[in-house]
Chains A and B, each alone.
Chain A
Amino acid sequence: MRKGNITIRNFWLVLLLALVCVPGLAQDNLKGKNFQSITLESSLKPFKKKDKAYIRAVAHEMFTQWHSLLRHADTVSMMLWTSDGSEILDYKGTMDQPLEWAKYMGNPNTDHEVGSGPESLSLHQRAYVYRDDAPDFTYGDLAFIVKVLKEEGRKVTGKPIKVGATFDPGPEFAKSPFKYEKHPEILGGNAMGHKTFVSSYSLLNGDSESYAGFPDGIPDQTPFGTFFGRQSQHFLDDLGFDYIWLSNGFGFGAEGWSATGAIFSGENFAQEKLASSADKVVGFWKLFREECPDYPIQTRGTNLSVGADLARDAVDLRNIYKGGFNMLPPPNSPWAALDGDFGLELAGYMSRMAMLPDNRFPFRYYTHDPWWINSPWLDRYGREPHDIYLPLAVARIDEEGKIGVPTHLNFLTIDDTYGNMPTQVPDEVMPHILKARYDMPTAPGPLVWVYPFDEYHDWARDYTDRLPEIYYGDWFMRQAINSGLPMNTVISTTSLPGAITNNPGLFKSSILVTIAPEKNSKNEKTLMDFVKNGGQLIVFGPVDHSSKTFMDFINLSNTTPLSGEMELRSEVGIDIIKGEVPQKIRHLSLFSGGGFRTLIKNPKDSFTQALSSVKQGDEVRDMAWLRQDPDWKGGKVVYLRGTNSSSFTGGRLLTPDNPEEFQIVPAMLRQLLGTFGMQLKIEKENVGIKDPVLTINRSDNAFIFSGYNPNSTVKQSFKFEQGAPLILGFETILEDGFSNYTMPTAWHRECRVLLPRPQEWCRLKNFIQAKKG
């Protein structure tokens, strides 16, 4: 008897060990850094029949398609685009309540009834139901779907499955009598027409309907955050959801998609509204959390960036991050898939990760669209992976000097507008995600954006005249990246001193790029010490609030401001462009952080080299120069005043100047890298051809190049301080020390060899001898 017990006990011990160890052995084969979480986003459209076995089979297939990637995650989530979020607002607390769900193609909230009207109406004017036999669902059906997703996902992946609910502020996805008939007073945003988006800080008029959280109706002047929070708490509890996603800029201001907003009209900044508007935004979060305290919040954010959002729409991201709201910061915007503006995507992404609520941040990839009959992987990106490799080349650095890469990965979405899930998409996309992860940044890239996250928030609060400057910096970086600047590493000004202290050699091979520091600030001293100790620095933008010490350091003085068209004189152009290239710029003060008023203070300074200037009539201003004091141990600083070369012309975003008429000044930033020995040259047929977008990240000591070449005739030439980089797998003919390549639309390649020129070798030899001596 006793022996038998031991045998049985040993059997269970062996079984337990097998269960623990065998999966562990299998995991040893996985390559690359795991994501903490991978989220598959989906509408309910794949559930084409309201049959329980069918629903279960579809759920199983959803996870099966992505299984080889889901192995690389600690947790798997399914985020449901059930409706437009009105299912939360309308919820009465009963499972037999009919569910208005997102079964449409196009906008169902227009003057044209769904499925009506002439063929010539667009999807934005009239929606269709996605199939004639689209099922009707109740809230009880939704609860069943949530339950089945967790069960089938667990079976396929062996991992815990979380299911997320979504709230969208706009009219896109399902009919919403709540937003557009019963409570239009909550509409404030104009992203899809006048007053079409819910404002997070609106007040509700009273009504007498019964809701789960308000069984006796909504009291008059109830804050939307209070109502939405309480409804969310009931909805998430009752239907088995684990978190909520706030879509399309919701919770971040009034206008999620536009270059204008509550503060910036396109013509001026209403500074007087900023403090109260920013308080309202944060107030929404507080009100929501009072009613729905514990469910994690994930966010989409805006299409723009921290500085631009703050100056144009009073988005105080710092207060939202620091509010203790248990929220995941916004990922990269998906809009580059639509408009090709990868500069804005990357600049916005980096600005938002410069500081974080904790160490988590997501990357999101646009595979399908379940609403607007497009599947970006197939028909917008052309099955080219540039919007995978470019954003996944991005890294942040924290105050300890440690590299941070995305912890979360989302796919918007796994189903298309017809509710189909072709395996082609996951089968083609997953290898690129994994490859990008293998090649993820492990050290700072050649350029590091020192982002003034805290300064922007401080200046917006403490000054009455700095919103144009706050607005300008991110737009400048957007256009510089669109012009080929390989900017894919970010650290905040606040984290920089700690990172340098903890790891003094961290930025030895990098060029720091930032705006002028505040007078007598810690950042000002950090930047100057960095250069004096051999560091490389570029400062761009106006220098209106720095100390005399800093201005002397870069040899700068200010005089009367200029605005408008100016002649450009420049020594830095290395690009080869056939045909006429304009030699003038347009400096609009409103979009460029004020007037153009910078001069080299002491032109006779032997350590200063003028690089570019502008002339308007008899007035001259200096655009760019290099300063290199021999006492700085090889350190250099380049100053570039710059101008936006973009303006508001009535569209969603700022419109770049016509390159056939004006030079695109942010492109000068790439060409100025030559002063540090890094030359990235472009040769193209005419000035109107878009420049390639480029990232260079360091991974496992390699240089990883990723590119998006909108025009595949453009030739790129590379010469670094260390030599000409050789791209793995290609041949090149070296010319004047450059390696030369003509690349396809999307490319991603490793480099582990650089070829110095003979004269550079002599310099290196001296360096080595000096080191040895």
Chain B
Amino acid sequence: MVSFKELHSGQKGISKRYSVSGLKNGSLRIYPSDGVTAEELNVYLNSRYPWNTGEIPFTEVKNGNERYFEIKDVSGTVAFSW
């Protein structure tokens, strides 16, 4: 079972935060707001407030005008914010 929920910011400068839970060696493609750069996107694995640990890398993909960020082979809960 996979779940996609919105979380509170709780962090200065962060306007949006979401989580995806229930992942088992899964991969994600994340579509943040237009204009959010790779530097502005934060992705965490199995982390929690105050979001000091668990940051993981991701890859930016562009296809025409479509743009998203990928995370591969993760288990547990991924949270991402900008």
Chain A interface (Cβ < 8 Å from any Cβ of B): 442-443, 503-509, 700-703, 722-723, 726-734, 739, 751-756, 758, 761, 764, 767-768, 771
Contacts and interface: CB of A to CB of B under 8 A. Distances in A.
B69 to A, nearest CB: 10
B29 interface: yes
Nearest to B63: A508
B34 A752 contact: no
Given A726-B20, A753-B29, A732 B2 contact: yes
Contacts, number: 93
B4 A730 contact: yes
Contacts of A506: 64-65
B64 to A, nearest CB: 2
A700 B68 CA distance: 12
Nearest to B65: A505
Nearest to B16: A752
A527 B66 CA distance: 21
A727 B72 CA distance: 20
Contact of A723 (B1, B22, B29, B63): B29
Contact of A752 (B2, B32, B72): B32
Contacts of B4: 726-730, 751-753
B64 A731 contact: no
A731 B65 contact: no
A754 B65 contact: no
Contacts of A507: 64
B22 to A, nearest CB: 8
13 contacts: A442-B34, A503-B65, A701-B31, A701-B68, A703-B31, A729-B5, A731-B22, A752-B31, A753-B30, A754-B29, A755-B2, A755-B27, A758-B25
B2 A701 contact: no
B29 A722 contact: yes
A323 to B, nearest CB: 36
A758 B74 CA distance: 12
Nearest to B68: A722
A693 B3 CA distance: 24
Nearest to B72: A761
Contacts of B25: 758
Contact of B65 (A508, A734, A771): A508
A701 B32 contact: yes
Contacts of A732: 1-3
A71 B66 CA distance: 33
Interface in B14-35: 18, 20, 22, 25-34
3 closest A-B pairs by beta carbon, nearest first, are A508-B64, A505-B64, A726-B4
Given A505-B64, A732-B1, A752 B27 contact: no
A701 B30 CA distance: 10
Contacts of B70: 764
A228 to B, nearest CB: 48
Contact of A756 (B29, B63, B67): B29
B74 to A, nearest CB: 11
B64 A509 contact: yes
Contacts of B31: 701-703, 751-754
Given A734-B2, A751-B31, A755-B2, 8 more contacts: A730-B3, A732-B3, A752-B4, A753-B31, A754-B68, A755-B28, A755-B29, A771-B61
Given A507-B64, A701-B34, A728-B18, A756 B27 contact: yes
A727 B5 CA distance: 9
B59 interface: yes
A728 B65 contact: no
Given A752-B32, A755-B26, A443 B59 contact: no
Contacts of A504: 64
A754 B28 CA distance: 6
Interface residues of B, number: 30
A254 to B, nearest CB: 44
Nearest to B28: A753
Given A701-B33, A731-B1, A768 B61 contact: yes
Contacts of A755: 2, 26-29
A732 B65 CA distance: 29
A185 to B, nearest CB: 57
Interface in B37-79: 59, 61, 63-68, 70, 72
A507 B25 CA distance: 32
Among B25, B32, B63, chain A packs the most CB atoms within 10 A around the CB of B63
A726 B67 contact: no
A752 B66 contact: no
A761 B27 contact: yes
A752 B67 contact: no
Most buried by A among B27, B36, B65: B65
Contacts of B65: 443, 503, 505-506, 508-509
A771 B61 CA distance: 9
Contacts of B5: 728-729
A573 to B, nearest CB: 27
Contacts of A733: 1-2
Given A507-B64, A722-B68, A752-B18, A731 B34 contact: no
A506 B28 CA distance: 24
Contacts of A739: 2
Contacts of A723: 27, 29
A758 B34 CA distance: 27
Nearest to B78: A753
Contacts of A700: 33-34
B21 to A, nearest CB: 9
Contacts of A443: 65
A80 B13 CA distance: 48
Given A700-B34, A755-B26, A728 B20 contact: no
B42 to A, nearest CB: 14
Contact of B3 (A509, A731, A761): A731
Given A443-B65, A503-B65, A728-B4, A768 B20 contact: no
Contacts of A442: 34
A45 to B, nearest CB: 44
Contacts of A701: 31-34, 36, 67-68
**A509, A732, A752, A754: most-surrounded residue (chain B CB, <10 A):** A752
A293 B30 CA distance: 54
Nearest to B64: A508
Contacts of A703: 31
Nearest to B24: A734
A729 B5 CA distance: 5
A442, A731, A739, A753 pick with most chain B CB within 10 angstroms: A753
Nearest to B23: A755
A727 B64 CA distance: 24
Contact of B6 (A728, A754, A756): A728
B73 to A, nearest CB: 8
Contacts of B22: 731
A507 B70 CA distance: 22
A726 B32 CA distance: 14
Contacts of B72: 761
Contacts of A727: 4
Contacts of B64: 504-509
Interface centre among B1, B4, B20, B34 (most CB of A within 10 A): B4
Contact of B27 (A726, A758, A767, A771): A758
Contacts of A753: 4, 18, 20, 28-31
A314 B76 CA distance: 62
A443 B35 CA distance: 14
A489 B80 CA distance: 30
B8 to A, nearest CB: 14
A726 B31 CA distance: 11
A508 B64 CA distance: 5
A768 B29 CA distance: 13
